[in-house]
Amino acid sequence: MSFLPTTAMALVIGWATVGICDMSEKPDSQVVTLTIHTGKAHYKVGEDIDLEVKLSNAGPNPVNVLKFFMLPADDPGKNNLEIQVRDAGGNLLSRVSEVLTGRALYFPDGQTLNPGETCTASFRLAGTFVRPEERDKHKEALWSLGENPEVYSSDYPAMAGGTFSVQAIYKVGEQQWEGFRKANDASLWTGQLVSNTIVLSVE
């Protein structure tokens, strides 16, 4: 699967939300950086909140990274990206159910970030959704946490007013490295990156 030339997007593949990196822009800090942002800081309950995640190479040499951002909704052992949303009291928002939402295809594909390149993906952080198990198709304002409640049957937290902080963690460890090494004859960046924190107001 090739890179998207312009816009960032998220795909739902095999019951997992997978963000494909879209190459663009130029960072100016550490060797590999992770940054996030939303279109604005103030939202209404039920309004769509889209989070843009950027992985950048600010070093002097090319870096091989995984082509896909994978969230923990499918299999926590395979994900490389976690989006954390906390309320004003510091409590982490999460799905009510601990049941895995499915088994995704795992893509051990890589891509090369040349110096100054960035890959970008977008995830729906919150919005108004229709639960598939509800026959009356009642719409609810939910924190989707980058996933899609209209596809998954797990329970997501209701979206209510308040102040919330958002942060992303990108981690590539032995599990991802082993799969990549079996499919590719190349090195792979491993480690953990913590993004900037953004604060959102919902009313």
Q: What domains does the chain contain, in order, with CATH numbers? A: 9-202 (2.60.40.2970)
Rounded distance between C-alpha atoms, residue 36 and residue 118, angstroms: 12
The yes-or-no verdict on residue 77 having pLDDT over 70 is no
Rounded distance between C-alpha atoms, residue 16 and residue 19, angstroms: 10
pLDDT the model gives residue 28: 41
Q: What does pLDDT average to over the chain? A: 78
3-state secondary structure of 103: coil
- Higher-confidence residue of 56 and 182: namely 56
Distances (CA, A) of 106 to 34, 110, 188, 197: 22, 12, 16, 29
The residues near 55 (Cβ < 8 Å, ≥ 6 apart) are: 21, 32, 33, 34, 65, 69, 113, 118, 119, 120, 170, 193
Contact by Cβ (8 Å): 165, 198: yes
The yes-or-no verdict on residue 14 having pLDDT over 60 is no
- pLDDT class of 97 with cuts at 50, 70, 90: low
Contact by Cβ (8 Å): 96, 154: yes
pLDDT the model gives residue 89: 96
3-state secondary structure of 179: helix
- Higher-confidence residue of 165 and 191: namely 165
pTM of the model: 0.79
pLDDT the model gives residue 176: 74
pLDDT one-digit tens code per residue, 128-157: 988 766 666 778 899 988 887 776 656 789
The yes-or-no verdict on residue 178 having pLDDT over 60 is yes
Contact by Cβ (8 Å): 112, 63: yes
pLDDT one-digit tens code per residue, 22-69: 554 444 434 899 999 999 999 999 999 999 999 999 899 999 898 888
pLDDT the model gives residue 127: 94
- Higher-confidence residue of 112 and 9: namely 112
